[in-house]
Chain A
């Protein structure tokens, strides 16, 4: 029979534009969230994290926004560059708080030169 793979959402942006990648998380008890970037052929790489007592956190060219009311997380990338092309994963900590992360399915970011 026909195999069905994951259909990752894809965001296509022009180089230099800002990118916004969205993520819905599942557990209202989660108190820690993290974004990873995975380039082709590599392992996921930590980008930025945020705790539930914050609404916003900024890094270098990246900003994470947290809306606990609607259980929504977003990653904003300023002045997107070709090197930003990758799959981006959000993750939430397990309610057991043992260090286990629950990963989302990922979003593919394509940067057009």
Chain B
């Protein structure tokens, strides 16, 4: 199993530009989570999906952030327009349904730098 796949691994962009982060969950997993990790705030849950439906987006910082999951094998997190304070490592994680739903498997992350 390839695990959770995130792309790109690194992204450097200028303030005001649109940024799109991508995630492919593990096949068969029905929940997908987007996290942001910074030195200031640690690991924060932004949004999560269950069966492609957004369940809780209370962690999304503001309207500049949006996430979609058009099908079971793909999700995007978009920031438009990006700001320097969005610089962080963004992780995607997925989990199985049923009794193991609490074990989340993380991708390697996307390191975003907004200049």
Contact present for B43 and A89 (CB under 8 Å): yes
Task: Report the Cα distance A110→B98, complex, angstroms.
Answer: 36
Cβ contacts B73-115/A at 8 Å (1 or 0 each): 0000000000000000001010100000111111111000000
Contact present for A100 and B56 (CB under 8 Å): yes
Chain B at the A interface: mostly helix, strand, loop or mixed?
A: strand
> Which residues of chain A come closer than 8 Å to B43, judged between CB atoms?
44, 89, 103, 106
Contact present for A45 and B106 (CB under 8 Å): yes
Size bracket, chain A contacts: 20 to 34
A25 interfacial contact with B, CB 8 Å:
no
A102: nearest chain-B partner, CB-CB: B45
**Which of B50, B105, B109 is close to A99, meaning CB atoms less than 8 Å apart?**
B50
A43 interfacial contact with B, CB 8 Å:
yes
4 nearest CB pairs, A to B = A43-B106, A5-B39, A99-B101, A44-B106
